[in-house]
């Protein structure tokens, strides 16, 4: 008995597409020795120097422990540096090193190539439609499943 045929599930198609994109980016970033997650972190980091790990996690839509893992690897490879905040003792400011900027730039060229090639497959109208439809998916799914079931104080 089949409850719902797979081809009818939007999820199947969404997953396949995301998987294919992720694989393509992974291959594109390989020469720069970057993973997709590392690239995403570096990219946001370059746009918000000194951002905290928690804020970076939010920007990348992952949990703090996940970002912690990614940052640990980036730091071990010398791509970022983390320095204590001047007076906010609980915050570690994260910044790209020179090497980090270089590697990001290298990876970015390849990653953007993939994005451009993909975008070129669609007309501007189609891109708009796709983005809008995906946005509605995300909005619905997030509203149906709140990040934090806010509990009242009393």
Would you give the binding string for DNA spanning residues 55-94, x where CB under 7 A is met?
x-----xxxxxx-xxxx-x--------x----xxxxxx--
Nearer to its own copies, 21 or 92 (CB): 21
Specify burial of residue 114 (Cβ count, 10 A radius: 0-12, 13-18, 19+): middle
84 strand-pairing partners = 92
Among 21, 35, 44, 101, binds DNA (CB under 7 A): 35
Nearer to its own copies, 18 or 99 (CB): 18
Q: Tell me which residues touch its own copies (CB under 8 A).
A: 2-4, 6, 8-11, 13-25, 27, 43, 47, 61, 108-109, 112, 114-119, 121-122, 126-127, 129-131, 133-138, 140-142, 144-145
Nearer to DNA, 72 or 122 (CB): 72
Nearer to its own copies, 8 or 76 (CB): 8
Q: Which residues of the chain form contacts with DNA (CB under 7 A)?
A: 19, 23, 26, 35, 37-38, 52-55, 61-66, 68-71, 73, 82, 87-92, 153
């Amino acid at each position: 008995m089949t409850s719902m045929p797979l081809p009818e599930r939007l999820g199947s198609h969404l997953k396949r597409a995301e998987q294919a994109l992720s694989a393509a980016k992974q291959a594109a970033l390989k020469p720069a020795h970057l993973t997709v997650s590392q690239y995403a972190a570096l990219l946001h980091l370059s746009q918000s120097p000194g951002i905290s790990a928690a804020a970076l996690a939010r920007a990348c839509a992952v949990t703090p422990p996940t970002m912690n893992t990614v940052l640990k690897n980036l730091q071990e490879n010398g791509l970022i540096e983390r320095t204590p905040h001047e007076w906010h003792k609980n915050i570690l400011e994260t910044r790209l090193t020179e090497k980090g900027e270089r590697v990001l730039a290298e990876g970015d060229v390849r990653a953007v190539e993939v994005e451009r090639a993909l975008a070129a497959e669609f007309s501007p109208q189609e891109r708009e439609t796709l983005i809008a439809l995906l946005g509605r998916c995300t909005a619905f799914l997030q509203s149906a499943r709140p990040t934090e079931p806010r509990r009242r104080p009393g």
